[in-house]
Structure 1
Amino acid sequence: MNRFIAGGLVLAAELLASTAQALPADSQPTKPTVVLVHGAFADSSSWNGVITILERDGYKVVAAPNPLRGVRADADVIADVVRGIDGPVVLVGHSYGGSVISEAAEGRPNVKALVFVAAFAPEAGETALGLTGKFPGSTLGPTLAPPVKLTSGGNDLYILQARFHDQFAADVPAAEARLMAAGQRPIAEAALSEASTEPAWRSTPSWFIYGDKDKNIPPAAMGFMAERAKSRQTVVVKGASHVVMVSHAPEVASLIERAATAR
C-alpha cells in the first residue's frame, strides 16, 4: 500500500477516535431512571441496599413516596413522579406497591419495564386481599395489630411489632427488623380491598422476584401472577422472606438492571 495512503488511513482513524471521545455525554444511550415503590408495612428505606448497588452501576434512582391510601390514589402519586422524569423509566414495586405500579404505568409511554418484588400483579377487578387468599400460605392476618381508627373514617393496619420479625422479615437480622417494625408505614384497610383496573403488565414487559419463604403473599400466588403476566424472567430466592429486597439486595438489583437493559 502506498505509504501516503496508509498514513492517511491512520490519521482518519485517529480523528474518528478523538471525535468519539469528544461526544457529549447526552449523545450516549441514556440509562433508564429506576423508580422504586415500597409496599405496606415498609417505607422507602427498605430499598437502601438496592439503591446503593444501582447508583454504583450508574443508574439514577428515585424512591418514590407511596401514601398507602388506595390503589388509584397511590397510583396517581406515582404516575406524577414518572411524568416528571425525562427519558425511560423502570418501575419497581414491592408487595402492595406492585398493584400501584401496574396502575401507574398504564398509559405512560416512558415506562419501559415493570419489576415486581414479592409483589401483587393484579388483573382488572382483582384486589390484594383476594389474591392473598387465592392460595394457602399467608399468615399475615393473625399478626396484625388492632386497627387504628381514623378521624377521617376507615382504619389503618399495622403488624404487631412483636410479630414483625418472624412474619415480615424472618431472614433479616433481629436488630434491623426491630427498626423496620418501629418505622413501618400503615396501610389503609380499604386499600387492600380496592379493585385494580386495566393492568399495565399486559402491555409492558415484566420481571418478577420473590422468596420461597414469604409469609405475607403465598409464593404460589406470586408464581401464578408471574406466569399470567408472561414474566420475562422470574427469580425465586431460596429461603427469602417478604422483604427480599432487604435480605437479598444484590439479586434484586441484578434483576432490575436486566430489565433496564432488555430490548
Structure 2
Amino acid sequence: MYPHRSTPPTAVLVHGAFADTSIWAGVGHLLHSAGVTVRTPAVPLRGLAQDAAHVRAVVRDIDGPVVLVGHDYSGAVISQASVGTDHVVALCYVAGFGLDDGECVLDVMDRFAPAPVAAAGFTAAAPAFGELRLNDEEFARLYAAGLPPEQVAALSAAQRPIARAALADRSGPPAWAAQPCWYAVTSADRIVHPTAQRFMAQRMAATEHLVDASHAVARSHPSAVATMIQEAAGQRE
C-alpha cells in the first residue's frame, strides 16, 4: 500500500502548544510494546516555518518509512514538515490543526463556535517575547479535564510556552492533500472545538477515530491513540 514497506514505520510523535514530550508517555510505551520504533522530538513552538523545519530534520534523519503524528498546533507542523520528504507514509492528527494553504490556527478557531479557550486565563510566560502558557486552573479545566490531579499538575508544570505569533502563522500547501491521513476527534475537547476537528478531518478525507476525551487524549486514552497510529502504520486493520 505504501512505499518503503519493507521496513516497519517509525512513529514520530510531535507535541503541540501547552505541552512537552511527556504528553506522549503512555502512547509511546504502548507503541514500543507493540514493536514500533518511536521518536518524540521537542518542538520549539516559535513559529510554523521554524517548527516544521525542526521536525523535518528529525524525519530526514530516520532511515525508513515514517508516520508523523501531531497533537494540537503541531497538526499544522506535521502538515508542513512532511512536504519535501519522500518517506512519510501517513499523517495522524490528534485533535490537531490540519490547516489548508493560507490558513492559520486562529482562522480555524474563529470560524466555529468559540471553544472555552477563547476566554481562558493565559499567563504571559515571557512578555518581552510574546509567549503564552495556560495558567494552572485553566489548564486543569480546559486542557486536561478528566485526568487525575497529580497528572494534571505535572503536565501543567511541564508546559512549553508557545510564541503568540505562531498561532497567526499561515500554512503553505499542506501535505495532507496528497498523503493518507488519520484523525482522532476528541468529543469532549475544550481547546479545539469538536466541530472544527470534524471539519478538518473531513476536508482531508481522513480516517476518523472518535474518542470521548478532553484535549489531553494522549494521556487519558493512550490505547485509542496508539491503536490509530498502528493502523496508520499498517499494523492493524
Normalised to the residue count of structure 2, the TM-score between the two structures is: 0.94
Give the letter aligned to residue 151 of structure 2: E
Residue correspondences, number:
232
Tell whether 2:234 aligns with 1:261.
Answer: yes
Gapped regions of structure 1 (runs ≥ 5):
1-27
The answer to whether the 8 A contact 1:69-1:191 is kept is yes
Q: CA offset at residue 137 of structure 1?
A: 4.0
**2:223 aligned counterpart, secondary structure:** helix
Q: CA offset at residue 48 of structure 1?
A: 0.5
Q: Which has the larger radius of gyration?
A: 1
Percent identity, aligned pairs only? 41
Q: CA offset at residue 243 of structure 1?
A: 1.1
**1:147 aligned counterpart, secondary structure:** strand
Give the letter aligned to residue 244 of structure 1: V
Q: CA offset at residue 244 of structure 1?
A: 0.8
Q: CA offset at residue 149 of structure 1?
A: 4.1
Tell whether 2:58 aligns with 1:81.
Answer: yes
2:181 aligns to what?
A: 206
1:115 aligns to what?
A: 92
The answer to whether the 8 A contact 1:210-1:244 is kept is no
Distance 1:144 1:32 in 2: 40
Tell whether 2:215 aligns with 1:242.
Answer: yes
The answer to whether the 8 A contact 1:144-1:157 is kept is no
Give the letter aligned to residue 31 of structure 2: L
**1:35 aligned counterpart, secondary structure:** strand
Match of 1:138 among 97, 110, 115: 115
Tell whether 2:159 aligns with 1:195.
Answer: no
The answer to whether the 8 A contact 1:118-1:211 is kept is yes
**1:74 aligned counterpart, secondary structure:** helix
Distance 1:149 1:186 in 2: 8
Give the letter aligned to residue 55 of structure 2: I
Distance 1:217 1:53 in 2: 25
Distance 1:146 1:224 in 2: 30
Q: CA offset at residue 199 of structure 1?
A: 0.2
**1:115 aligned counterpart, secondary structure:** strand
2:71 aligns to what?
A: 94
Q: CA offset at residue 148 of structure 1?
A: 3.6
Gapped regions of structure 2 (runs ≥ 5):
none
1:215 aligns to what?
A: 190
Q: What RMSD, in angstroms, separates the aligned Cα atoms of the two structures? A: 1.5
Normalised to the residue count of structure 1, the TM-score between the two structures is: 0.85
Distance 2:56 2:205 in 1: 23
Q: CA offset at residue 147 of structure 1?
A: 2.3
Q: Deviations over 1:242-261 (max 9, x none)?
A: 01111000000000000000
Q: Deviations over 1:58-106 (max 9, x none)?
A: 1110001210000010000000000000010000000001000000001
Distance 1:62 1:223 in 2: 27
**Bigger relative contact order (CA 8 A; separation at least 6):** 2
Give the letter aligned to residue 78 of structure 1: V
